[in-house]
Amino acid sequence: MEEGADIEELIVIRHGEPDHLINNLTGGWTDSHLTELGQKQALLTGQCLSELIGDRPFGFYASDLSRAIETAELIAKSLPIKPALAPGLRELNNGIAADMPNDEAAKIAHPITDPLVDWVPYPNAENWRQMSERVVGFLESIKDSHGLAVLVMHGGSANAAICWWLGLGIGQTNIAFELDPCSISRFNVNRWKERNIVKINDTAHL
């Protein structure tokens, strides 16, 4: 831990291609794993991060869902530290729809309600606000621990992290960032102390 540090640079990575996309299963807390392509994406991402980070100290965290763990472990082959697993970085909890084919999940889906941020898509699932509060709670817990933090996450939880960094508040549903598998999104504090977007959804390394 870097004593007295505060996050001045944030790197957000979406996990590599997961097999639930290939198998037409729901995402969320489905126990999916990386495809062969996803594994290659993660290795390339690690090589890119090694160059970006250099010899700087950093915190390295990953969601504890299988596809994120596998991504982070492959990335770590190019880095000097292993990822710390963080349940707070998990994707939206999709309740009983986890591990379910998309067509079957559609049969048990709840009708969309207003406001969208409070819509619970499936029985026993989270809404977007609850997921965002979980993600932000974790980020607030580490914000004084590292000057640079690297996070391996999911599409939805990464959106919540980006909204937190930009000060957009918890539970945004009218702003979305498209994030491809193993994309790198970079943010920093510039010399005017503004929270700066360096790149979002960068896949040039793949």
pTM above 0.85?
yes
In a domain, 1, yes or no: no
In a domain, 65, yes or no: yes
The pLDDT tens digits for 96-115 are 999 999 999 999 999 999 99
Domain of residue 194, residue span: 9-202
| Residue 3 confidence (pLDDT) | 37
Integer Cα distance of 16 and 86 in angstroms: 18
In a domain, 126, yes or no: yes
pLDDT higher than 80, residue 4? no
In a domain, 151, yes or no: yes
pLDDT higher than 70, residue 95? yes
Integer Cα distance of 171 and 184 in angstroms: 22
Integer Cα distance of 89 and 62 in angstroms: 7
Integer Cα distance of 31 and 27 in angstroms: 8
Integer Cα distance of 199 and 206 in angstroms: 15
In a domain, 4, yes or no: no
In a domain, 2, yes or no: no
Handedness of CA 163, 164, 165, 168 (dihedral sign): positive
Considering its fold, how many domains does the chain have in total?
A: 1
In a domain, 115, yes or no: yes
| Residue 169 confidence (pLDDT) | 82
| Residue 2 confidence (pLDDT) | 38
In a domain, 3, yes or no: no
Share of the chain above pLDDT 90, in %: 91
User: Tell me, what CATH number does 186's domain have?
Assistant: 3.40.50.1240
The pLDDT tens digits for 169-178 are 887 678 899 9
Q: DSSP code of 101?
A: B
Structure tokens at 180: 């491809």
**Average pLDDT, whole number, for the chain?**
95
| Residue 173 confidence (pLDDT) | 73
The pLDDT tens digits for 11-57 are 999 999 999 999 999 999 999 999 999 999 999 999 999 999 999 99
